[in-house]
A = this chain, B = another copy of it.
Amino acid sequence: MPQDAAAVRLAVSTVIFALRPDHTGQPVLWTPLVRRTREPQRGLWALPGGWLPPNEELEAAAARTLRSTTGLTPKYLEQLYTFGDVDRSPGARVVSVVYWALVQSDEAAQATAGPNVRWVPADTMPRLAFDHNAIVEYALWRLRTKVEYAEIAHAFLGPTFTLAELREVYEAVLRRRLDPANFRRTMIASGRLAETGERVAGAPHRPPKLYRYETPSEGAGSREPFMGERPAS
Contacts and interface: CB of A to CB of B under 8 A. Distances in A.
A93 B58 CA distance: 11
A1 B50 CA distance: 8
A82 interface: yes
Given A97-B82, A97-B84, A233 B149 contact: yes
A217 B153 CA distance: 33
A226 B141 CA distance: 10
A82 B79 contact: yes
A222 B230 contact: no
Contacts of A57: 84-86
A231 interface: yes
A146 to B, nearest CB: 6
Nearest to A225: B138
Contact of A229 (B8, B58, B145): B145
A150 B51 contact: no
Interface string A148-167: 11100000000000000000
Contacts of A218: none
A159 to B, nearest CB: 25
A120 B86 CA distance: 34
A6 interface: yes
A202 interface: no
B145 A230 contact: yes
Given A6-B6, A82-B82, A230-B232, 20 more contacts: A2-B9, A2-B51, A4-B51, A5-B51, A10-B10, A54-B86, A55-B86, A58-B84, A81-B226, A95-B97, A137-B225, A138-B225, A141-B225, A145-B229, A145-B231, A146-B229, A150-B231, A229-B231, A230-B230, A231-B231
Interface of A: 1-2, 4-11, 50-58, 79, 81-82, 84-86, 93, 95, 97, 134, 137-138, 141-142, 145-146, 148-150, 222, 224-226, 229-233
29 contacts: A1-B50, A1-B51, A2-B51, A4-B52, A5-B10, A6-B9, A7-B54, A10-B10, A52-B95, A54-B93, A55-B86, A58-B84, A79-B81, A79-B82, A81-B226, A82-B82, A95-B97, A134-B225, A138-B225, A141-B224, A142-B229, A145-B230, A146-B231, A149-B231, A149-B233, A229-B229, A229-B230, A229-B231, A231-B232
